[in-house]
């Protein structure tokens, strides 16, 4: 509770914190009727599902919608007319919130008329003194609260309509002020969305460039000895596909440094590196989770002491090596270990590939491996079992197309420049997201007034 004398003039201390004197604390249920969608049973019954004219909205449809996108314009699947009788029809423009699943607490506004399943709650009969877009931002500002405090359930947490209705919010007194706040936040979201669309476009362009350059279908200036009229005469059909006849096909094992015994190696067997070996300082342990996004990202480490490192030195990893996730759903994802990073030791769920830099370009090789992952072809290197895993033996034997070192470097530079552009756009997007959070904190609490 804030001490009275610290409350600014024109503000009041409430259960939701300090808000302007003319704002009100209201329960959502007093602003709108909160209802839940419905799901025909049994699931998958062709009598209810598989129609062609009645869109069917489930929480799964929300998982692929960016945070900055306000509206839901596409659903997943359809219901028959009979199935619609057991669901709930929601009109275009309805404010909804996911009440279960991974998107629990995420609010959106419908841009399509549809039926909603029971994982969706909706706000209907909205009071005239409340703006829908303003409530959208208020709800999304409370996502963490919904998940950590309000949601119930021993198994999968869920928000029932009663809990949602009892949730309290602070509401500006006029619809005009609510609209002004919502418009300011919407303007920032529009910038974020535009950046996300541009990032997607640049990623698609890069992927197309990869398919051309890494197979030799397109040659960079100075490396192609062919013309448009005789391209087919200068390509060979090989076990890895059609490639230029001045390219080679080699195994991954053959591109590692000569006489390096453990150039392609995984981390120690589980019993050889356990929690009892962890230290607060020493040699950092490099896990698969650091590379699953294609970039090396580690904000904290566990360590082993020098003695343990020397015992398991076969599993050491040095700056410039390629680190790959070995086990789990994202096995095959990889990144380049930062060149100036201190020597580390692999965890049991990771592996590394050391490239002979006198003969090959690491970035070029990594792009080949990352392309395998994003295209799904990494399955060729996986074993089946309790969980997917990369086979070291198969990895070593895997064959890749290889141009000369100068051409590898040239291709790597083109792709690196594209990555740098995408990374710059991502940083700009993240900056706007941080700005938005700051604006929300100011505007949704009345610390800054627009009217």
- Reported as a single tens digit per residue, the pLDDT across 318-350 is 999 999 999 998 999 999 999 999 999 999 999
Predicted local confidence at residue 262, as pLDDT: 95
Predicted local confidence at residue 155, as pLDDT: 62
Dump pLDDT digits (tens) for 267-306.
Answer: 998 778 888 899 999 999 999 999 998 999 998 899 999 9
Provide the CATH topology of domain 248-402.
Adenine-n6-DNA-methyltransferase TaqI; Chain A, domain 2 (3.90.220)
Q: Confidence class of residue 43 from pLDDT cuts 50, 70 and 90?
A: confident
For the four alpha carbons of 20, 23, 29 and 35, in that order, the dihedral sign comes to negative
Q: Is the pLDDT of residue 51 over 90?
A: no
Range in 320-334, 372-386, 436-450 with the lowest mean pLDDT: 372-386
Average pLDDT of the residues in 166-176: 96
Average pLDDT of the residues in 169-195: 96
Q: Confidence class of residue 4 from pLDDT cuts 50, 70 and 90?
A: low
Provide the CATH topology of domain 24-171.
Adenine-n6-DNA-methyltransferase TaqI; Chain A, domain 2 (3.90.220)
Predicted local confidence at residue 158, as pLDDT: 79
Q: Where in the chain is the domain with CATH 3.90.220.20?
A: 24-171, 248-402
Dump pLDDT digits (tens) for 95-115.
Answer: 999 998 889 999 999 999 999
Predicted local confidence at residue 227, as pLDDT: 46
Average pLDDT of the residues in 399-406: 96
Average pLDDT of the residues in 308-314: 94
Q: Is the pLDDT of residue 226 over 60?
A: no
The percent of residues in the chain predicted with pLDDT above 70, rounded, is 96
């Amino acid at each position: 509770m804030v001490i009275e004398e610290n409350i600014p003039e024109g503000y009041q201390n409430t259960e939701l914190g300090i808000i302007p004197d003319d704002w009100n604390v209201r329960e959502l249920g007093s602003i709108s009727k909160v209802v839940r969608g419905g799901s025909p049973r049994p699931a998958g019954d062709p009598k209810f599902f598989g129609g062609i004219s009645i869109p069917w909205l489930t929480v799964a449809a929300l998982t692929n919608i960016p945070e900055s996108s306000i509206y839901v314009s596409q659903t997943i699947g359809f219901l028959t007319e009979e199935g619609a009788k057991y669901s709930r029809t929601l009109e275009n423009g309805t404010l909804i919130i996911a009440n279960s699943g991974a998107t629990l607490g995420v609010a959106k506004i419908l841009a399509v008329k549809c039926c909603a399943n029971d994982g969706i709650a909706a706000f209907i009969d909205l009071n005239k003194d409340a703006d829908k877009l303003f409530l959208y931002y208020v709800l999304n500002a409370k996502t963490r609260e919904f998940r950590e405090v309000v949601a119930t359930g021993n198994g999968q947490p869920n928000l029932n309509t009663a809990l949602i209705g009892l949730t309290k919010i602070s509401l500006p007194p006029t619809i005009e002020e609510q609209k002004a706040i919502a418009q300011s936040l919407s303007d920032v979201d529009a910038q974020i969305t535009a950046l996300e669309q541009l990032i997607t476009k640049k990623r698609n362009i890069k992927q197309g460039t990869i398919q051309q350059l890494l197979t030799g279908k397109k040659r960079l200036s100075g490396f192609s000895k062919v013309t448009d009229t005789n391209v087919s005469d200068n390509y060979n059909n090989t076990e890895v596909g059609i490639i230029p006849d001045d390219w080679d096909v080699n195994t991954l094992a053959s591109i590692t440094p000569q006489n390096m015994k453990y150039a392609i190696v995984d981390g120690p067997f589980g019993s050889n590196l356990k929690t009892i070996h962890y230290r607060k300082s020493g040699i950092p342990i490099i896990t698969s989770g650091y590379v699953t996004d294609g970039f090396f990202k580690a904000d904290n480490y566990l360590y082993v002491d020098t003695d343990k490192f020397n015992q398991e030195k076969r599993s050491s990893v040095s700056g410039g090596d390629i680190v790959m996730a070995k086990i789990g759903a994202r096995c095959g994802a990889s990144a380049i270990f930062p060149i100036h990073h201190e020597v580390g030791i692999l965890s049991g769920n990771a592996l590394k590939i050391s490239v002979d830099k006198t003969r090959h370009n690491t970035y070029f090789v990594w792009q080949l491996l990352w392309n395998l992952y994003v295209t799904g072809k990494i399955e060729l290197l996986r074993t089946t079992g309790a969980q997917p895993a990369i086979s070291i033996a198969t990895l070593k034997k895997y064959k890749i197309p290889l141009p000369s070192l100068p051409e590898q470097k040239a291709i790597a530079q083109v792709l690196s420049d594209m990555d740098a552009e995408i990374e710059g756009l991502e940083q700009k997007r993240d900056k706007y997201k941080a700005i938005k959070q700051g604006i929300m904190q100011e505007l949704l609490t009345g610390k800054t007034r627009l009217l």
